[in-house]
Amino acid sequence: DAKTTQPNSMESNEEEPVHLPCNHSTISGTDYIHWYRQLPSQGPEYVIHGLTSNVNNRMASLAIAEDRKSSTLILHRATLRDAAVYYCILRLGGSQGNLIFGKGTKLSVKP
Amino acid sequence: EPEVTQTPSHQVTQMGQEVILRCVPISNHLYFYWYRQILGQKVEFLVSFYNNEISEKSEIFDDQFSVERPDGSNFTLKIRSTKLEDSAMYFCATQGVTEAFFGQGTRLTVV
Q: What is the pLDDT of residues A74-89, one digit of tens each?
A: 999 999 999 999 999 9
All residue ranges of chain A with pLDDT < 50 are none
Q: Could you give the angle at the alpha carbon of B71 between the alpha carbons of B66 and B76, nearest 5°?
A: 30
The residue among A6, A11, A67 whose CA lies nearest residue A34 is: A6
* CB–CB contact A101 B99 (8 Å): no
Those residues whose C-beta lies under 8 Å from the C-beta of residue A81, and which sit 6 or more positions away, are A39
Handedness of CA A49, A51, A56, A62 (dihedral sign): positive
Q: Give how far B29 is from chain A: nearest CA, Å.
A: 11
Cα distances (angstroms) measured from residue A39 to each of A2, A105, B83: 25, 12, 27
Q: What is the pLDDT of residues B42-94, one digit of tens each?
A: 999 999 999 899 999 999 999 999 999 987 789 999 999 999 999 999 999 99
Q: Number of CB pairs < 8 Å for A and B?
A: 48
Q: Is residue A13 within a helix (H) or strand (E), and if so which, with residue range?
A: strand A9-13
The residue among A36, A107, A93, A20 whose CA lies nearest residue B102 is: A36
pLDDT of residue B42: 94
Q: Could you give the angle at the alpha carbon of B64 between the alpha carbons of B62 and B69, nearest 5°?
A: 95
Residue A5 CA to residue A105 CA, distance in Å, equals 9
Kindly indicate the confidence band of residue B2, based on its pLDDT and cuts at 50, 70 and 90: confident
> Residues 6..65 of B with a Cβ closer than 8 Å to A: which?
31, 33, 35, 42-45, 48, 50, 55-56, 58
Nearest CB to A49: which of B31, B33, B98?
A: B98
